[in-house]
């Protein structure tokens, strides 16, 4: 199995990298006191470039590529700390396309729609009627909210949620609210048997976390090359070398696991859920550890708001929590059959 990007995939990535480097440098998040998603302005342009509907079949308005290309794109989203609300558009478009609503599908694929993310707070009931407590991410200005579970995925209107309360978020550029559903029918619902959206969601989160792990690795290495102590770059000291080398190994392991899982999902493999879950575990663990160790390499500067390191660490914790943290994903993995 070839895990290296093809020429066509590299061309897709070059287009995206150029766009994100110009429109979404990580430094955009450093405004003191900035709260809320600054990335909604990017959705129409990402839609026009085809990135929102990249993995959707052409007869449903998409580009017709696979989870392999989607994972590579989300890896770049992670590097640039794009708001996780982009998941609402990517995954929500599949629900809308399955429902056959061409007008709403165009709103999602063009980036005109605003979609928040709902993450369960404890046990919830999902299906024809949904109940339970949720955290809402970047849903304060959203018309739609995406809910995903192992049973399937659904889209709700924001007003379907009750008792919405805004609360402070550790990741301050993401708006966070608490809310609940009280026996509410989703506006659109797709069971996991129709399209394994839960596994796809875990895979895209894993790819995003790979971007976090690689971004922090590069930040630490670049700093170690120029920061001097005792007349030498700190990267020449064994302790720093070991940290950077370990970060590189973690990032590479996460990338390989996510690539493999994306290809299994692209081939509709029977073990798709297993590999997507494993990818999220490995990538999230790598992102959390690399983000923390980057702050260590940066030293006193790493603890300041002027450094970008804290944004990666906070975002890694958020990605960990979405649709099941490390502890719950490991417990799920232990209950799954061992792949052939």
In angstroms, rounded to a whole number, what is the distance separating the alpha carbons of residues 149 and 188?
A: 14
Provide the terminal-to-terminal Cα distance of the chain, rounded to the nearest Å.
16
Reported confidence tier of residue 34, pLDDT bands at 50, 70, 90: low
pLDDT digits (tens, 9 = 90+) for 79-121: 999 999 999 999 999 999 999 989 999 999 999 999 999 999 9
Domain that holds residue 246: 197-335
Do 187 and 317 fall into the same domain?
A: no
Nearest-angstrom CA–CA distance, 241 and 238 = 5
Q: Which distant-in-sequence residues (6+ apart) come within 8 Å of 37 by Cβ? A: 83, 85, 138, 141, 173, 174, 175
Q: Are residues 186 and 202 in the same domain?
A: no
CB count in 10 Å sphere of residue 178: 15
Residue 217 lies in a domain: yes
| Domain final residue pick, 143, 161, 191 | 191
pLDDT at 32: 52
Q: What is the pLDDT of residue 33?
A: 56
Number of domain units in the chain: 2
**Residue where a domain stops, chosen among 136, 159, 191:** 191
Please check whether residues 126 and 207 belong to one and the same domain.
no
pLDDT band at 339 (very low <50, low <70, confident <90, very high): confident
Same domain? For 297 and 235 the reply is yes
CATH classification at residue 239 = 1.20.140.10
Report residue 166 as tokens: 């805004």
CA–CA separation, 100 and 213 (whole Å):
38
Q: pLDDT band for position 35 (50/70/90)?
A: low
What DSSP state is assigned to residue 306?
T
């Amino acid at each position: 199995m070839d895990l290296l990007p093809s020429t066509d995939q590299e061309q897709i990535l070059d287009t995206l990298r150029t766009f994100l480097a110009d429109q979404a440098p990580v430094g955009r998040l450093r405004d003191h006191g900035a709260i809320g998603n600054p990335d909604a302005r990017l959705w129409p342009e990402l839609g026009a470039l085809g990135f929102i509907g990249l993995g959707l079949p052409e007869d449903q308005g998409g580009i017709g590529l696979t989870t392999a290309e989607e994972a590579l794109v989300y890896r770049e989203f992670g590097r640039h700390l794009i708001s996780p609300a982009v998941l609402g558009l990517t995954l929500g478009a599949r629900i809308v396309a399955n429902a056959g609503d061409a007008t709403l599908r165009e709103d999602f694929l063009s980036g005109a729609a605003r979609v928040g993310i709902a993450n369960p707070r404890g046990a919830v009931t999902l299906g024809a009627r949904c109940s339970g407590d949720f955290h809402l991410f970047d849903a304060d200005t959203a018309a739609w909210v995406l809910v995903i579970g192992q049973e399937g995925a659904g889209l709700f209107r924001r007003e379907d949620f009750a008792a919405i309360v805004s609360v402070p978020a550790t990741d301050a550029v993401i708006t966070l609210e608490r809310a609940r559903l009280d026996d509410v029918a989703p506006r659109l619902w797709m069971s996991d048997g129709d399209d394994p959206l839960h596994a796809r969601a875990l895979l895209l989160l894993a790819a995003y976390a790979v971007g976090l792990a690689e971004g922090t690795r590069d930040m630490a290495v670049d700093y170690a090359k120029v920061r001097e102590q005792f007349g030498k770059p700190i990267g020449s000291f064994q302790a720093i070398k070991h940290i950077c080398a370990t970060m590189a190994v973690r990032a590479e392991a996460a990338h390989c696991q996510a690539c493999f899982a994306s290809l299994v999902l692209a081939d509709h493999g029977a073990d798709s859920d297993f590999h997507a879950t494993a990818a999220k575990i490995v990538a999230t663990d790598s992102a959390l550890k690399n983000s923390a160790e980057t702050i260590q390499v940066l030293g006193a500067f790493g603890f300041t708001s002027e450094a970008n390191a804290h944004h990666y660490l906070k975002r890694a914790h958020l990605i960990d929590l979405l649709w099941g943290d490390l502890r719950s994903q490991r417990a799920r993995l232990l209950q799954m059959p061992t792949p052939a």
